[in-house]
A and B are shown apart, each in its own frame.
Chain A
């Protein structure tokens, strides 16, 4: 055993990143650290789980259980597609709050984190109102598992080398015009795919991604380059380099799956108690997306299959909706739902 092997082995210990960052933040708040309850809780839950298990085991058709089942949201009824994060963001911005970001976390507890910009005083002043508004939105959309946390944005002090170089008025004007010119050029060639044109051109390069197959890219790259250059020249914009790169369609779709579709599914399933979902995972395979949904029910539970049906139904409703069906048609998915004890229940 040598040094680097040793380090590698120790470095393979997985670090709970989010919890660690939280720990650091708390430690620097200058409060005496509280001993975590982690260990103590274990003693209680092991006994409690045993007790609860016995309780459910004996009551085959317990009314309490049936009651929970009836709360599975929207089983068979009209399903409203929701994106609580977006709704919260809009509701808050409409009322003039300086909200930078709304994100979700599922560990250690399910929460919506709202990041507000501004001074500490401002945040202290508005945080209750912001929390209330967010909670109201969640309530109207039937999300009953998320707690709301209002926090400050992470302000990143710009590094020495990062400061954008001062730009002259002229250049600024020019850079506002560039996206338009590029769009005009792409229209001329009839290139329909969307891509982001909002970027900092201070490095004097314009990046244009061509989405599609390798052949399509090879066919298009020269003509794109020359058309854009011509357009720029015609508008007297000089000194910019046009870079045309290849973005395989598959990659674009896979990105969309991960960034656009999965979060919506996860927010929904983790957000409503009635689903009894404890975890949503996804894995990208060669040509399909595998969804793995774990519930807190046991495989032997008579209501497990019913629950799984309901979950799958709603997941399908989300993924086949107008917003997403283009993606799911091109790159299909498979839903696998599991019980607590790892039995497939759908």
Chain B
């Protein structure tokens, strides 16, 4: 079903369809920020809720994916900011609990996900937007609300950091 030419207002089904097309990517991006299922789902829920409330503002559904991604990134970054001060009761215990409830198929690919996880938030964002969602520098600048030059520099540094994280274990703070 090609909804790209219809304005958002017309069609509730269209919104649902588009969400379902994006849902897996949304989840995975959120996951890269928080690395656990529950929080990732929280972020996705917040994102869809916000998107649904403001869907009429989107004039052209061609940009749905980009628009939705922006909302997600903002929510993810907010989430992290809000939860930064939460000190878990027992960090080790919590990690073990989370790991044991993940599916084993993740274990094989933990390298890249781990490596991304070690990155500072801004670097994480530019990497995800550039390599996973193919955003242009301009689009990334819009999401992060900073000049394109900064994005280029950050991207350059982020990529280097990521490469080194992949080569050797990265250190958590």
Chain A partners chain B = yes
The answer to whether A16 touches B45, judged by C-beta atoms less than 8 angstroms apart, is no
User: A16-B37, A43-B88 in contact; A27/B48 too (CB < 8 A)?
Assistant: yes
User: Smallest CB-CB separation from B32: which chain A residue?
Assistant: A10
**CB within 8 Å of B: which of A1-27?**
1, 3, 6-7, 9-16, 19-21, 23-24, 26-27
Please report whether the interface of chain B is mostly helix, strand, loop or mixed according to DSSP.
helix
Interface residues of A in 264-320 (CB under 8 A from B): none
A interface: dominant SS? helix
Instruction: Identify which of B39, B113, B162 contacts A10 (C-beta below 8 A).
Output: B113
In the assembled complex, B146 has its CB within 8 A of some CB on chain A: no
Q: Which residues of B contact A7 (CB under 8 A)?
A: 131-132
Residue of A nearest to B105 (CB): A14
Q: Report which of B24, B94, B109, B134 forms a contact with A9, defined as CB distance below 8 A.
A: B109
7 A/B residue pairs, CB under 8 Å, sorted by A: A1-B163, A10-B28, A13-B106, A28-B16, A28-B49, A39-B39, A39-B88
B8 to chain A, nearest CB (A): 14
A193 within 8 A of B: no
Is B49's CB under 8 angstroms from A36's CB?
A: no
A14 interface neighbour in B16, B106, B111, B128, Cβ under 8 Å? B106
Residues of A that sit less than 8 Å from B by CB: 1, 3, 6-7, 9-16, 19-21, 23-24, 26-28, 30, 32-33, 35-36, 38-39, 42-43, 45-47, 157, 159-160
Cβ of A16: which chain B residues have Cβ within 8 Å of it? 27, 37, 41
Q: List CB contacts (< 8 Å) of B42-73 with chain A.
A: 42, 44-49, 52-53
- Decide: B23 and A1 in contact? CB cutoff 8 A: no
Which one of B45, B105, B109, B162 contacts A26 once the chains associate, using CB atoms below 8 Å? B45
Q: How far is the CB of B48 from chain A (nearest CB, A)?
A: 4
Alpha-carbon distance between A39 and B103 when the two chains are bound, in angstroms: 18
What residues of chain B lie closer than 8 Å to A1, measured between beta carbons? Answer: 162-163, 166
